[in-house]
Structure 1
Amino acid sequence: MKKIGIITIHSDLNYGAFLQAFALTSFLRKNGYDASIIDYRKIPNHPRLYKFPLNIIYKLYNLPRLYRYRSFISPMLSKYRYNSLKELSSFNEEYDLLITGSDQIWNPLCGGLGKLNPAYFLAFAPNNRYKKIAYGSSVGSYIFNKEEQIQVKQWLNDFTHLSTRELAGSQQLESFLHRKVKVVLDPTLLIDKEEWLKYSKKCTITEKYVLVYYIDELDEVVSYARKIADYYGWKVALITNMAKKHPNVDIKIPHCGPAQFLWLFDKAEYIVTNSFHGTAFAINFNKDFISVIKRNSPQRAQTLLNNVGLPERLLTNIEDVDKLPSHINYDEPNKKLNELRQDSISYLLNAIEN
Structure 2
Amino acid sequence: MEMNKSEKKIGIVTMTSGENYGNKLQNYAVQEVIKKLGFLPETLINTTVKGFDLPEAELSLIQKLKPLYILMALKIRINKILLIKNEGDQIIKSIIWKVRNREKIKEVKLLKKEVFSNFFKSKIRSSDFTISSNNIPFEKIEEFEYFFCGSDQIWNPFYPQNSMIDFICFAPEAKRIAYAPSFGVDHIPEYKKVFYKEWLSEISSLSVREEQGAKIIRELTGREAEVLVDPTLMLSRDEWLSIASKPEFKIEGEYIFTYFLGNKTNEYDDYIKSLADLHSYKIVNLLEIREFDYYSAGPQEFIYLINNASLVCTDSFHGAVFSIILKSNFIVFDRKEGKHSMGSRQQTLLKKFNLEDRFFEAVSTSGKYNQTNFEGSEDIILREQNITWAFLKKALKF
Q: Is the shorter-chain TM-score for this pair beyond 0.5, marking a shared fold? A: yes
Name the Cα RMSD after superposition. 2.8
Match of 2:352 in 1: 307
Cα 1:165–1:329 shift into 2, 3 Å: same
Matching residue of 2:25: 19
CA distance in 2 between partners of 1:30 and 1:148 (Å): 36
Alignment of 1:224 onto 2:271: yes
| SS of 2:204 mapped into structure 1 | coil
Tell whether the 8 Å contact from 1:212 to 1:222 is kept in structure 2 after alignment: no
Q: Which moved more, 1:89-98 or 1:302-311?
A: 89-98
Superposition misfits of 4+ residues, deviation over 4 angstroms: 44-50, 53-59
TM-score normalised by length of structure 1: 0.87
Note the C-alpha offset of 1:146: 4.8
Q: Structure 1 residues 41-50 or 165-174, which shifts more? A: 41-50
Q: 1:298 maps to which residue?
A: 343
Larger Rg: 2
User: What corresponds to 1:237 in structure 2?
Assistant: 284
222 and 23 in structure 1: CA distance in 2 versus 1, 3 angstrom threshold: farther
Note if contact 2:214-2:225 (Cα within 8 Å) is conserved in structure 1.
yes
Aligned length, in residue pairs: 340
Q: Structure 1 118/235 Cα, relative in aligned 2: closer, same or farther at 3 Å?
A: same
- The question of 1:103 aligning with 2:155 is answered no
Q: Residue in 1 aligned with 2:118? A: 71
Report if aligned partners of 2:331, 2:369 keep a CA contact under 8 Å in 1: no
Matched residue type, 1:87? N
Aligned partner letter, 2:196 = V
Give how far 1:239 is off.
0.5
Aligned mates of 2:209, 2:197 — CA distance in 1: 18
Alignment of 1:28-177 (within 5 A): 28-43=34-49, 58-75=105-122, 76-82=124-130, 84-88=132-136, 90=138, 92-93=140-141, 94-110=143-159, 112-113=160-161, 116-127=162-173, 131-177=175-221
- SS for the counterpart of 2:373 is coil
Q: Deviations over 1:1-32 (max 9, x none)?
A: 23100100131210011111111012211332
Match of 1:275 in 2: 316
Contact between 1:4 and 1:97, CA under 8 Å: does it hold in 2? yes
Query: 5+ residue gaps in structure 2?
Result: 52-75, 83-98
- In 2 relative to 1, CA 228–155 (structure 1 residues): closer, same or farther, beyond 3 Å? same
CA distance in 2 between partners of 1:32 and 1:206 (Å): 44
SS of 1:272's equivalent in the other structure is strand
Change (3 A) 1:91 1:236: farther
Q: Is the 8 A contact 1:99 1:132 kept in 2?
A: yes
* Paired AA for residue 12 in structure 1: G
Write the distance in 1 (CA, Å) between the matches of 2:279 and 2:132.
50
Contact 2:23 2:152 in 1 (8 A): yes
Percent identical across equivalent pairs? Answer: 26
| 1:89 positional shift | 5.5
Q: Does residue 4 of the first structure (1) align with residue 20 of the second (2)?
A: no
Q: Judging by fraction of residues, say which structure has more helix.
A: 2
